[in-house]
Structure 1
Amino acid sequence: MIAIPSILVASMIGVSLQFLYRYIPALGPDRVIFGIIKTLTSGVILATGFMHVLPDSFDDLTSKCLPEDPWRKFPFTTFIAMNSAFLVLMIALVHLQEKVNDDKTSQLLRNRVIALMSKVAGVVVSVVFGLTMGVSDNQCTIRSLIAAFCFHELAEGMRLGGPILHAEFKSKMNWKMVLSFPVTMQFGIALGMQIQKIYGETSPTALILMGMLNACSAGLLIDLALVNLLAHELYGPKIQGNMKLHVLGYVATFIGAAGMSLMAKWA
Structure 2
Amino acid sequence: MIDAAICDGDGCGPPDADDIFFHLRVASIFIILVTSSFGAIFPIIAAQGRWRVHPLVFEFVKFFGSGVIIATAFIHLLAPAFESLSNPCLAAGWDDYPWAPAMAMLAVFALFLVELVAYRWGTAKMTALGLSAHAFSDTQAAGMSAAHGPEPPRTTAPNDEETSVATSKKAFAAPHSHAVHADGSEDTGATVLAQLVGVAILEFGVVFHSVLIGLTLAVDPDFKILFIVIIFHQMFEGLGLGARLAYLKLPPKYRWMRLAGGILYGLTTPIGIAAGLGVRHTYAPDSATASIVSGIFDSMSAGILLYTGLVELLAHEFLFNPKIHQISNERLTFMCCCMLLGAGLMALLGRWA
Preserved contact between residue 210 and residue 268 of structure 2 (Cα < 8 Å): yes
Q: CA deviation at 1:65?
A: 1.1
Cα 1:56–1:195, aligned 2, differ >3 Å: closer, same or farther?
farther
Distance 1:194 1:2 in 2: 14
> Does 2:171 match 1:148?
no
1:195 CA displacement: 4.4
Counterpart residue type for residue 245 of structure 1: R
Structure 2 equivalent of residue 10 of structure 1: 35
Correspondence 1:237 to 2:322? yes
* Counterpart amino acid of residue 36 in structure 1: F
Distance 2:210 2:294 in 1: 12
Equivalence for 1:51: 75
User: Is structure 2 residue 155 aligned with structure 1 residue 132?
Assistant: no
Of the three residues 101, 105, 110, the one matched with 1:87 is 110
**How many Å apart are 1:17 and its aligned residue?**
1.4
Quote the offset at 1:245 in angstroms: 2.4
Q: Give 1:33 deviation, angstroms.
A: 4.2
**1:248 and 2:334 are equivalent in the alignment:** yes
Partners of 2:276 and 2:306 lie apart in 1 by 25
In structure 1, what is the equivalent of residue 96 of structure 2?
Answer: 73
CA distance in 1, matches of 2:226, 2:200: 27
Q: Distance in 2 between matches of 1:176 and 1:250?
A: 30
Structure 1 partner of 2:239: 158
Instruction: Count residues with an aligned counterpart.
Output: 260
In structure 2, distance between residues paired with 1:45 and 1:231: 14
TM-score norm. by structure 1 comes to 0.90
Q: Which amino acid aligns with 2:261?
A: M
Conserved 8 A contact 1:118-1:163? no
Q: CA deviation at 1:60?
A: 0.8
Structure 1 runs of 4+ off > 6 angstroms? none
What amino acid maps onto 2:333 in structure 1?
V
CA distance in 1, matches of 2:71, 2:90: 28
The alignment partner of 1:74 has SS state of coil
Distance (whole Å) between structure 2 residues aligned to residue 251 and residue 108 of structure 1: 31
1:197 is the counterpart of 2:220: no
- 8 Å contact from structure 2 (residues 216, 285) kept in 1: no
Q: How far does residue 59 in structure 1 lie from its aligned partner after superposition? A: 0.9
Q: Is the 8 A contact 2:69 2:305 kept in 1?
A: yes
TM-score (norm 2): 0.69
Q: How far does residue 154 in structure 1 lie from its aligned partner after superposition?
A: 0.9
Whole-angstrom CA distance in 1 between matches of 2:244 and 2:115: 14
1:174 matched to 2:198: no
Name the structure where helix makes up a greater proportion of residues: 1
Structure 2 counterpart of 1:91, which letter?
V
CA-CA distance at 1:34 after TM superposition = 2.8
Displacement, 1:194?
4.1
Are the equivalent residues in 2 in contact too, given 1:43–1:257 (CA < 8 A)?
Answer: yes
State the distance in 1 between where 2:276 and 2:80 align: 16
1:216: which partner in 2? Answer: 300
1:109, CA displacement in angstroms? 4.3
Q: Classify the secondary structure of the residue corresponding to 1:198.
A: coil
Q: 1:52 Cα deviation (Å)?
A: 1.3
What is the root-mean-square deviation of aligned Cα atoms in Å? Answer: 1.9
CA offsets, 1:112-156, max 9 Å, x none? 3321111111111101111211232x1xx1111111111111111
Larger Rg computed on CA atoms: 2
Partner of 1:188: 272
Cα distance between partner residues in 1 of 2:66 and 2:301: 15
Pairs within 5 Å for 1:7-46: 7-18=32-43, 19-21=45-47, 22-24=49-51, 26=53, 31=55, 33-46=57-70
Post-superposition shift, 1:96?
A: 1.7
